[in-house]
C-alpha cells in the first residue's frame, strides 16, 4: 500500500512536469512553514503567492484546493500523532478496536475519541504542487504514523488479551478457592456430624448400660436395646427366642422413634380375663410380617379391641398357649410390663 502511494506521489513530480516545477517555486516559503507545522502562517504566505500562479494546465483554484487538502491532512496526522502520545503511558484508559482502530474506553459512541489507520490514508491528494523535499516529508510522516499507530494497536490488543488471560486465571483461582472452601466446609460438616454421632453413640451406650444395670438390679437378665417388634422379627428370621427370656426390650429416651413408629400398628384383637392378645400385620422390607403376642393386663386399666400397644419397657416371659374362639389351640410369645426400680 505504501509503495503504491509513494509511486503515485513521486510520479507527479519526477516526470519532468514543467507546471509542477513552476508552481513549487512559488511555494518554497510556504513549504518551510508547513514543515515547521506553522499552518496559520503558511495560510497567510499562501494567500500572497496564489495570485502569482498562472498556468493553463493547473489553475490557481485547483492549487488552492490541493493546498487546503494537504494542510487538512497534515493537521489530521498531527492530531493522530498527539493522540498516540496521549495514549502512551495511559494505555489502561484506551482499547484496540480490531486490528486497525484505537479508542477511549467507557465512552459514549458519539463522544468517543476514536482513530484508525484508514484516517491516516484518507484525504491526501494524489498530486501535490510541492517540492520533492515536502513530498518526502509527507511520505515519511505517513509511514511513521501508520507504524506507530499499528504498534500502539498491537500493544493494546496484547494488553487486552493479557487482561483477559488474567481475568480467566482470576476466575479459575476463584473457582478453585470456592471449590476448596466447599470441600473444607463439607469436611468440617462431616467432622461435626461424626462428632455428634460419636457423642450420641457414647450417650446411648451409657444409657443402655444404665438401663441394663437397672434391669439386672430389678431381677431381670438384662436389657436389649430394641423394640418388641424388632425382637419378634429378628427371632422369626434367626431363631434364638430363648435368649430373650426374662430380658427387657423397649426404646430408651435417647431414641424413641422405632417404638413410636411401630407400636401404634400393634393392635389389640382380643381382651382376655388375664391379658390381651395383640396382632401385628405389615408389609415391610419387601416382605409380609405377621405375628400375635400376649401381654398381661395392668391393674385398674380398661382395655378394648383395636387399642394400640403401649410404648414402655416389657419383659419376655416365654410362650403362652390359649384357645381361640374357633376352638383352635395357639401358642404366642408372652410379655409383661417391666418394673424397674
Quote the pLDDT of residue 338. Answer: 94
Quote the pLDDT of residue 147. Answer: 94
Helix (H, G, I), strand (E, B) or coil at 300: coil
Phi, psi of 325 (to 5 degrees): -60, -30
Whether residue 311 contacts residue 265, with contact meaning beta carbons closer than 8 Å, is answered with no
The low-confidence residues of the chain, meaning pLDDT below 50, are 1-18, 55-58
How far apart, in whole angstroms, are the C-alpha atoms of residue 132 and residue 9? 9
The three grid cell numbers given for residue 323, joined into one nine-digit string: 384357645
How far apart, in whole angstroms, are the C-alpha atoms of residue 311 and residue 338? 12
Q: How many CB atoms lie within 10 A of CB 72?
A: 13
Quote the pLDDT of residue 323. Answer: 82
How far apart, in whole angstroms, are the C-alpha atoms of residue 207 and residue 304? 34
How far apart, in whole angstroms, are the C-alpha atoms of residue 58 and residue 129? 10
The contacts of residue 168 (CB under 8 Å, 6+ apart) are none
Domain spans of the chain, in order of start: 2-171, 222-337
3-state helix, strand, coil in the chain (%, to 5): 55, 20, 25
Helix (H, G, I), strand (E, B) or coil at 271: strand
Q: Which of the 8 DSSP states describes residue 145?
A: H
Task: Dump pLDDT digits (tens) for 83-92.
Answer: 999 998 899 9
Quote the pLDDT of residue 79. Answer: 94
Q: Could you write out the DSSP letters of every residue in 62-106?
A: HHHHHHHHHHHHHHHHHHHHHHHHHHTT-GGGEEEETTTEEEESS
Task: Dump pLDDT digits (tens) for 251-279.
Answer: 999 999 999 999 999 999 999 888 999 99
Residue 244: in which H helix or E strand, if any? none
Amino acid at each position: 500500500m505504501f509503495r503504491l502511494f509513494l509511486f503515485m506521489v513521486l510520479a507527479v513530480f519526477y516526470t519532468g512536469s514543467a507546471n509542477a516545477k513552476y508552481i513549487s517555486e512559488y511555494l518554497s516559503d510556504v513549504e518551510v512553514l508547513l514543515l515547521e507545522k506553522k499552518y496559520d502562517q503558511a495560510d497567510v504566505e499562501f494567500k500572497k503567492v496564489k495570485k502569482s500562479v498562472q498556468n493553463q494546465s493547473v489553475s490557481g483554484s485547483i492549487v488552492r484546493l490541493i493546498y487546503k487538502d494537504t494542510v487538512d491532512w497534515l493537521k489530521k496526522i498531527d492530531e493522530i500523532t498527539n493522540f498516540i502520545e496521549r495514549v502512551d503511558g495511559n494505555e489502561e484508559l484506551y482499547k484496540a478496536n480490531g486490528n486497525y482502530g484505537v479508542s477511549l474506553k467507557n465512552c459514549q459512541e458519539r463522544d468517543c475519541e476514536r482513530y484508525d489507520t484508514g484516517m491516516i490514508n484518507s484525504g491526501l491528494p494524489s498530486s501535490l504542487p510541492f517540492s520533492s523535499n515536502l513530498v518526502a516529508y509527507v511520505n515519511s510522516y505517513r509511514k511513521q504514523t501508520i507504524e506507530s499507530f499499528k504498534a500502539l494497536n498491537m500493544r493494546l490488543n496484547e494488553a487486552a488479551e493479557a487482561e483477559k488471560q488474567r481475568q480467566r486465571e482470576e476466575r479459575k483461582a476463584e473457582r478453585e478457592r470456592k471449590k476448596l472452601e466447599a470441600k473444607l466446609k463439607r469436611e468440617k460438616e462431616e467432622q461435626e456430624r461424626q462428632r455428634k454421632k460419636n457423642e450420641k453413640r457414647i450417650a446411648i451406650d451409657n444409657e443402655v448400660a444404665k438401663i441394663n444395670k437397672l434391669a439386672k438390679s430389678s431381677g431381670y437378665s438384662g436389657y436389649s436395646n430394641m423394640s418388641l417388634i424388632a425382637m419378634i422379627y429378628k427371632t422369626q428370621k434367626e431363631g434364638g427366642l430363648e435368649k430373650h427370656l426374662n430380658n427387657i426390650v423397649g426404646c430408651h429416651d435417647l431414641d424413641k422413634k422405632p417404638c413410636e413408629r411401630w407400636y401404634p400398628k400393634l393392635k389389640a384383637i382380643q381382651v382376655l380375663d388375664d391379658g390381651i392378645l395383640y396382632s401385628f400385620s405389615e408389609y415391610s422390607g419387601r416382605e409380609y410380617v405377621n405375628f400375635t403376642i400376649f401381654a398381661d393386663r395392668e391393674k385398674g386399666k380398661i382395655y378394648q379391641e383395636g387399642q394400640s400397644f403401649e410404648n414402655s419397657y416389657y419383659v419376655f416371659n416365654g410362650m403362652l398357649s390359649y384357645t381361640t374362639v374357633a376352638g383352635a389351640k395357639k401358642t404366642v410369645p408372652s410379655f409383661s410390663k417391666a418394673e424397674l426400680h
